Structures are given as C-alpha cells and as structure tokens.
Structure 1
C-alpha cells in the first residue's frame, strides 16, 4: 500500500496564526502498470500533476512539473509569476527527452498556495487540465477549478448534462496540458482564508471513482487528513481504481487572531 505523507505547520499571518495540517498519497491504481501521477505538498504550495503519454513520457512530464515547482516552494517565493517561470522550465525539461516524449505527452498541473504577500492572506488555486481543487466550506463541497476537457466544454455549451458526462466516450480528452511544446498559463482563482476550510487536491483517478458527495462523505467521516486520504484512496480502489490516484487533503484552522490579543 502506498505510503501517506503527513505534515503540519503554524503560519503567522496578518490575520492571525493559521494552523495547517495536510496529508498526501499517490497510487498507481488497479489497472495501470505505472504511476504517471506526481504530487507536491510543500508549504506554501500543494500540487497534483497527472501525466499522459506513451512509454515513460507521462512520468517525465509530471515529474518535471513537480520538480520545478518544488524549487519554487522551497524558495518561499510562490506567485503566479514564479509558477509560470517554473512551468516554462518544466516544458524545456520535457522537451529534452525526445526519445520518450512526443506531441501526446503532457501533464495536468493543479493545486493551491497560500499567498501572504499582501495585507490580507489569500489562497490561490492554479489549474491546467482536469485534476481538481475542491473546498469544503460551511458544510458544502465546491469544485473551485474548472476542468479543461471536451466534456466540460460540452456541459458549458448546454449540450451535455453532468450525468451524461460521467460515461461520455470523450471523458478522458483534455483541452489544455503542459507538454514539450506547450507553454501554458494556468487559470487562477483567489479565495479568502477561512477557519475550518478543508481542501482536496486530486487527480481524475479519484473523481472517476468517487462523486463530489462521496468525497465529502469521507471527509466528514475522517477528521484527520491522513485518515481522510486513506479512506478516499481505499474507496477509489474498491470502486475499480481504473487510473492512477493522487489525493491531498489540507485543513485550515485559526489558532489566534489579532482581535483575541
């Protein structure tokens, strides 16, 4: 069974001390011979990359994206500008392996980071592809990112219902990915930092097997992030595990605020 990585951190911000607890896991699933997913959970940046391509192209693409983003996370200078520079370097890394990569090679890059550069801290989500960021806030689960996929475009055009999309033959076809010739800019969404938020960052190997309500169920049943990722992984495998599965759960809690001093 894949090993779960868990960490915690107390971050002092202008809004008070924020306690962050997170856990991550990645698994090749039941039907894939290799795991082309890669995961980064290094404060302040939490990212899932889902590689695609024959041979080891997908592994190279996802690993290149995560390795370059890890450098940014370790520097502590995480912003859209530094993320896009890192992704540009990842494109060059992918292109440097012509013997194992081609035009079909690429990776999703999806995640969230805590931006403390301004007067008020914010979360910022980033997305290329069809991995997802969810937040559970005030008892409701919300998908923050929008899939870059053929199916999502059909839904947005009113030509397909979400129910029909679940088994659509083009369900795996994405419209945006980071690849050897694709310098792609992520979509960004800014969110307030609120006490009690729970983030889920995951590859589509999870959402192929669990509905949004299923994800929320396992979160509500498991207060500890490690228990939550384990429960979701186990359920996804039990439901078929048709693809690689990667999950991060990130919990947010205020330890104190200036008003309490």
Structure 2
C-alpha cells in the first residue's frame, strides 16, 4: 500500500496560486503516478499552464496499461512514457498560449513520479524537485534543476551558498511551453523500506534548506503532517512564492 498526501499553499506574498498537482493509477492498477507543476505567466496564465500540464498528464497516465509489459522492462517503458507525455503537454500548452493574449508566453515546470513495485521513475522539467528521504542517510535530491544558477554551479562559477544572492536565482532554462527539442530528464531509483519521496515546487526549496527538509521528512510524522509542516516552515521563513509538496511513502 502507498501512503501519500499533497498540500498546496498560496504563500505570503502572492495573490494567486499558480501551482497544480495530481495523481492517478494506471489502467491496469499496477502503477501510481504523481505530478507537481509550478506555472508562470501574466494574469492567470501560470495557473492555466500548470493545470494543463497536470490534466494532460493524468489523462495519459490513467490510460497507461502495463498488463502485457514484462516487469523487467517497466522502468524503460515508464521512462519513455514520461518523456513522450512531457512533449505532449508542451504541445498542448503552446497551442493554448496562442489562443489569447492573456495566455501568450505561459509555461510551467513539472516534476513527475511513477511508482511501480519498489521502483520510482522520476522526471523533471524546470526547477521543481524530487527528493528521496532516508532516516539513516538523510535526504538526497534526485532531480537536477534546469536553471541559470545550476548551470553556473556546475561550471564552477557559483557556489550553492551564493545562490540566494544571485540576481538570476529564479531564472529557469527549461519549461513546458518552451521545450523545443529539450525534454524531461528521467531518473530510475530503487526505493527501500521506510524511504519517502518528496515532490515540490521551488516555493519550498527557496525558503527551506535541505537539512530542515530532511529533519521533517525523517521525523516520524505521518505523510499528512509532514506536508503541513513543510508548508508551515516555508511560510515561517518568508513564504515568497506558492508552495506545493507531495510526500509519498511506497
């Protein structure tokens, strides 16, 4: 049995929550899918973009049928499914963005997780993240941000301690609605007993350091309370953005 909970909050500075989230089960019942998306754009365009991403993903994921797929092939099949569906979402957002001035230029990040047995297949576009928490080893970030500052860090021109003071700390280099030939990065991970998966928008990670996230994730709290505590911590630290979290315990 999988225990999970989502929590989303507008934060303390925004007037609209442009984050969206969703979950579903595959057609044959063997895979559980989860998604968190963080929209961007003028007016309510960010909300439209993130909701389009979630709705499209759930539509496709609920039709995924693993009944005739060999278990050993599932990680590869799920990886391909996530990559293909991300491009489908991208095309749908682009089409909607051409439908009216208020939607022009809208986009969204997304972090996706598919749970099959003790395997987690995780995909991301943008700076929404996935972590795996373990009581003995702490917390590990699985995804790699598609952001300007992450590129600077990887090239040795910026340290992680300097990120919060960088003028382009919120600039992302990849988003649904602007993918072009770029797609999702996908990671396949084994999940051990007692480990938890965290999906979140950057409204959490920009406000709460990884060590504090680890303390909450590994603090023997039920998934519902863990989500609420993560949201509260982000708001207590400023709450400058919308905050969405999903805690999943396979």
TM-score range, shorter chain: 0.7 to 0.9
- Note the C-alpha offset of 1:184: 4.1
> Is 1:36 aligned with 2:33?
no
**Residue 102 (str. 1) matches residue 104 (str. 2):** yes
Cα contact 1:30–1:242 (8 A) shared by 2: yes
CA distance in 2, matches of 1:148, 1:123: 21
Which one has the bigger helix percentage?
2
Shift of 1:35: 0.8
- State the alpha-carbon separation in 2 of the partners of residues 243 and 186 from structure 1: 24
For the 8 Å contact 1:64–1:90, the answer to whether it is kept is yes
Greater displacement, 86-95 / 31-40: 86-95
> Which stretches in structure 2 are left out of the alignment for 5+ residues?
26-31, 66-76
Contact 2:86–2:184 at 8 Å: present in 1 too? no
**Pairwise CA RMSD:** 1.8
- 1:243 match: 241
> Secondary structure, in 3 states, of the residue corresponding to 1:166?
helix
The answer to whether the Cα contact below 8 Å between 1:141 and 1:212 also exists between their aligned partners in 2 is yes
| Residues 129 and 144, structure 2, Cα contact 8 Å, conserved in 1 | yes
CA deviation profile, 1:16-70 (whole Å, cap 9, x unmatched)? xxxx110101111111111111112334111111001111221111111100111
The two structures have a TM-score, normalised by structure 2, of 0.85
Match of 1:63 among 51, 67, 72: 51
The offset of 1:180, in angstroms, is 6.0
Q: Is the 8 A contact 1:91 1:183 kept in 2?
A: no
Paired residues of 1:151 and 1:171 also in contact (CA < 8 A): yes
Unaligned runs of 5+ in 1: 1-9, 11-19, 253-261
Which residue of structure 2 aligns with residue 113 of structure 1? Answer: 114
Q: Deviations over 1:63-85 (max 9, x none)?
A: 11100111123224482333344
Aligned length: 229
Q: Assess if the C-alpha contact under 8 Å between 1:68 and 1:87 holds in 2.
A: no
* Structure with greater strand share of residues: 1
- CA distance in 2: counterparts of 1:128 and 1:194, whole angstroms: 25
TM-score, normalised to structure 1, is 0.82
| 1:27 and 2:9 correspond | yes
- Is 1:173 aligned to 2:171, yes or no? yes
Return the alpha-carbon distance in structure 2 between the equivalents of residues 220 and 188 of structure 1: 25
1:130 is paired with a residue whose SS is coil
